Amino acid sequence: MVTPQESKPNNLVQTIERVSLILDILGQNPQGISVRDLSLKVSLPKGTTHRLLSSLSYLGYVRQDPKTRNYLLGFKLVELGNLLLGQLDLRKEAEPFLRELAERTKETVHMVILDRNEVVYIDKVEVAHNPSGLRMASRIGLRNPAHSSAVGKVLLSLFSDEALNQFLKEKKLSKRTEHTITDTVQLKEHLKMVRNQGYAIDDEENEKGVRCVGAPIYNEAGNAVAAVSISGPAFRVTKNMAQETLKKEVMKTALDISRRLGYRGGR
């Protein structure tokens, strides 16, 4: 069973919460952001914001552009991110299967985990001889809403009723495209279908012109720990291809990786 986001602790340290918010906002502003604008976004006095930034800068989590004076994420986060990815045995075990899937289908393959009820891309494989020359905008470390992506929907489908209700209470079902499911009742029914069939299709729900098929990866305890997907331009990854061919490919790969992790169940 997928483990949903933990509830906010009653003893959450305010300074750490503020620092987390600052880092999140800096991550959303790759060109940097001024102290003034950042203080407005975090609803803190400019002086308080500046003191937090100074400490984070000293420790390497934040840096300041010498020309614009704007603040950006620091390289310490890259170091920690690489350490984290290096600790994920899942990536090491899955890599040959992901590469083989990309070679077989000639499409882009992703692997994600669920973090804070969002999907986070932890691996991406593109074939060198992509027939169209098109490249997916996704990248390792990118976050996406769970409700609008194939990988997110397969993981949400494994939530308990209680966990799913909590997710719907806390997360806004943002409308990414005209095809995104934003009605809670409709999403619940859709997730029931996804759970029964063992795969999900993102029918241009997260990004217009892109269609994806995803399936869950299980560990030895039978818990869904990640999901794998095949993504491609909608003109090539047609609905028929997704339903008839690619779903089998992605489900086989997901099961192969699960077996490698010690999973003994199966569909």
Count of beta carbons in the 10 Å neighbourhood of residue 76: 14
User: Is residue 49 within 8 Å of 22, Cβ to Cβ?
Assistant: yes
Residue-wise pLDDT for 156-184, tens only, equals 999 999 999 999 998 889 999 999 999 99
Where along the chain do its domains lie?
A: 14-79, 88-260
Domain 14-79 architecture: Orthogonal Bundle (1.10)
Packing angle between helix 14-27 and helix 35-42, nearest 10 degrees? Answer: 120
What pLDDT digit, counting tens, does each position of 224-262 carry? 999 999 999 999 999 999 998 999 999 999 999 999 888
How far is residue 85 CA from its own chain's centroid?
14
pLDDT mean for each 10 residues of the chain (267 residues)? 56 84 92 94 93 94 93 89 69 93 94 91 81 64 92 96 92 93 96 96 94 94 92 92 94 95 81
Token pair of 46 as six digits = 């400019």
Q: Is 244 exposed, middle or buried (0-12, 13-18, 19+ CB in 10 A)?
A: exposed
Which CATH number is associated with domain 88-260?
A: 3.30.450.40
Question: What is the C-alpha to C-alpha distance for residues 138 and 143, in angstroms, rounded to an integer?
Answer: 9
Beta bridge partners of residue 108, listed in sequence order: 231
pTM above 0.75, yes or no: no
